[in-house]
Amino acid sequence: MNSAFTGTGRLARLALRRDRVQLPVWILSTVALGAFARSALDTQYPTEADRLAVLRVAVDTPAVLMFRAAPTGTSTGEMTAFGILAFLAILAGFMSTLAVIRHTRQNEETGRAEMIGATAVGRHAGLTAALVVVVGANVVLGALIALTLVGAGEPAAGSLAAGAGVGAAGIAFAAVAAVAAQLTQSARAANGIAAAVVGASYLVRGVADAFGEVRPNGYTMTSAWPSWLSPIGWTMQMRPFAEGGNRWWVLALPLALLVVAVAAAFALAGRRDVGMGLLADRPGPGQASPALLSPLGLAWRLQRGTALGWGIAIGVFSLVLGSMANAVDDLVAENSGVTGTINDLAGGGAHAIMDAFFGAMMATIGALVAGYLVQALMRPRAEEAGTRAEPVLATATGRLTWLGGHIAVATAGAVAMLGLAAVAMALVYGLSVHDLGGQLAHLAGTAYLQLPAVLTLAGLAVALFGLVPRFAVGLTWFGFALSFVLGPYGALLGVPESLRELSPFSHTPAVPADATAAPIVVMSAIALVLGAAGLAWFRRRDLAT
């Protein structure tokens, strides 16, 4: 065996041992989401005619195509692929990028790799071991997805194509992460690059599907060419279950990416030192600027990268949505059936179609802003666990000031992002309908309806941080995910009403015309109480590493 790879087996076993809980949880949750979506179909759209009706509307509704996929047919298998496959590919992507970076760059950053490198282990063993583990995890994931689909009565070939498509997307993103891990010095930055690629792949796929061509039958589509640029597009291009589908040769694309990216990663790794990145650190200021020198200034400095990243993503996304609104505007005249679907997505009620469209879009923006806010509020925990909070709290900085600074920065960021979304959509759409001022006011109103629900999740994050710091990160993300599975996506997944009530997003009015004071006041109060309780608990407890 080549000496550069000596010890790969041992390192792979070590990685598996470290991930013995994490990877199975990722895999099983992803498989469960797929199985759930498949079984929900039977109650939601039981007959062929139901499904045909939905697809006829969907192909004319860019927003639906953006978030689902280009439909390939009305069978339950094809409907499952239409509804959930792109989500499963995202989950496989994040599982893979996080795991690859955990076992490569993060090891280097913490100095573990240096200790390991000093033992009898080859230079490429760490990366190879990480890839072996992650590719294996994706094979297991794909196989389980295929098995559950076969178990639900779907044809074997299509089930296998669906599973293979998801697993292959995971493998493609693992390859991307392998390169990202060579570029930066910090695991956070590498994770950021890899996550941006996963997100961009989803968006590119979405735009390609939204601008796809409807086939003559009026309910299936061919995606536009950019779909071929995206690993998630490749998953959909396998067209599982479709007539003339199950295109196995598409799998060659992610595998080719794997080979090329791994070769590139090895080449890059050969050109740098352990612990260093290719994007070298430039020296910074030898003195602090006055803006940094307060608890609030520090919180902003630590959070601004996160805020900037999410801000750019939300801004671009809002511009895309604004331009799609123009297309919806054109459609309204031609097809009244669209109204029903969009109104369904927006939570019912008979509104002017554009209101309903923006309501549905702002719900998505609300989800993104909530994601940002939750991530930003994980910062204090990262500071505490990394023992960077300790020396700060040993200065004349009180605990409430310290935590309050982080909460203030994160919340201000969320408020700004909702405003940014409204401005971006209004710019594109308002200018095209020659009513910038009116649209801006209306869209800002729609956007800020999301704020109480977003703040409720923030309150949950702060309360958990105060009460159970060691579990706060996992529990908060779990609460975040649950509030969407139960809330906005609950209707699509067939979740019973009583459970859906638990999500703050179930109580969020879609458009200003629907808004009543009660849910807004109640949610704001819950957010405040949770936040205050979290602060009080944090003040009373030990710092926990």
| Residues in contact with other proteins by the rule CB under 8 A | 109, 185-186, 281, 283-288, 292-295, 298, 301-302, 386-388, 390-399, 540-543
CB of 533 to other proteins, least distance (A): 18
Q: How far is the CB of 186 from other proteins (least distance, A)?
A: 6
In the complex, least distance from residue 182 CB atom to other proteins, rounded to whole angstroms = 16
Smallest gap from Cβ 363 to other proteins, in A, equals: 34
Helix 86-103 vs helix 8-18: angle between axes, to the nearest 10 degrees? 120
Q: Which is nearer to other proteins, 13 or 388 (CB)?
A: 388
- Please, which residue, 392 or 529, has the CB nearer to other proteins? 392
* Residue 229 or 392 with smaller CB distance to other proteins: 392
Between 244 and 285, whose beta carbon lies closer to other proteins?
Answer: 285
- In this complex, which beta carbon is closest to other proteins, that of residue 152 or of residue 400? 400
Pick 47 or 287: Cβ nearer other proteins: 287
Tell me whether residue 10 or residue 399 sits nearer to other proteins (CB atom).
399
DSSP 456-518: HHHHHHHHHHHH-GGGHHHHHHHHHHHHHHHTTTHHHHT--HHHHTTSGGGG--SSGGG--HH
What is the DSSP secondary structure assignment for residue 221, as one 8-state letter? E
Shortest distance in whole angstroms from residue 297 CB to other proteins: 8
Comparison of 215 and 399: residue with beta carbon closer to other proteins: 399
Nearest approach, Cβ of residue 541 and other proteins (Å): 8
Nearer to other proteins, 115 or 260 (CB): 115
Alpha helices in 156-228 (DSSP H): 156-183, 187-210
Dihedral sign computed on CA atoms, order 10, 14, 15, 17: positive
- Cβ–Cβ under 8 Å, residues 142 and 163: yes
Neighbours of 225 (CB within 10 A): 11
How far, in whole angstroms, is CA 263 from its chain's centroid? Answer: 28
Quickly list DSSP for 400-433: HHHHHHHHHHHHHHHHHHHHHHHHHHIIIIIHHT
Instruction: Spell out the residues 6+ positions from residue 371 whose beta carbon is closer than 8 angstroms to its own.
Output: 310, 480
> Measured from the CB of residue 500, what is the shortest distance to other proteins in angstroms?
39
With respect to other proteins, which residue has the nearer C-beta, 10 or 541?
A: 541
Least Å distance, CB 207 to other proteins, is 33
With respect to other proteins, which residue has the nearer C-beta, 216 or 286? 286
Residue 136 DSSP SS3: helix
Phi, psi dihedrals of residue 222, rounded to the nearest 5°:
-110, 130
Between CA 74 and CA 72 the distance in angstroms is: 7
Q: Minimum CB separation from other proteins for residue 383, in Å? A: 9
Q: Of the two residues 397 and 432, which places its CB atom closer to other proteins in the complex?
A: 397
CB of 185 to other proteins, least distance (A): 6
Whole-number minimum distance, CB 287 to other proteins, in Å?
5
Nearer CB in complex with other proteins: 19/384? 384
Backbone φ and ψ of 221, nearest 5°: -140, 160
Q: Nearest distance from residue 343's CB to other proteins, in Å?
A: 47
Residue 517 vs residues 360, 449, 488, 520: alpha-carbon distances, Å: 20, 11, 20, 5
Q: Up-side HSE of residue 145: CA atoms within 13 Å toward CB?
A: 37
- Separation between Cα atoms, residue 110 and residue 198, nearest integer Å: 25
**C-alpha span between 50 and 341 (Å, rounded):** 12
Residue type, 290: P
d(CA 262, CA 433): 49
- In three-state form (DSSP H/G/I as H, E/B as E, the rest C), the secondary structure along 67-133 is HCCCCCCCCHHHHHHHHHHHHHHHHHHHHHHHHHHHHCHHHHHHCHHHHHHCCCCCCCHHHHHHHHH
Least distance between other proteins and beta carbon 286 (Å)? 4
Give the separation between CA 413 and CA 421, rounded to whole angstroms. 12
Q: Least distance in Å: CB of 310 to other proteins?
A: 18
Residues 73-103, buried b or exposed e (16+ Cβ, 10 A)? Answer: bbbbbbbbbbbbbbbbbbbbbbbbbbbbbbb
Give DSSP secondary structure letters for 323-334.
Answer: HHHHHHHHHHHH
Gap between the Cα atoms of 417 and 419, Å rounded? 5
Q: Indicate the residue among 355 and 384 with the shorter CB distance to other proteins.
A: 384
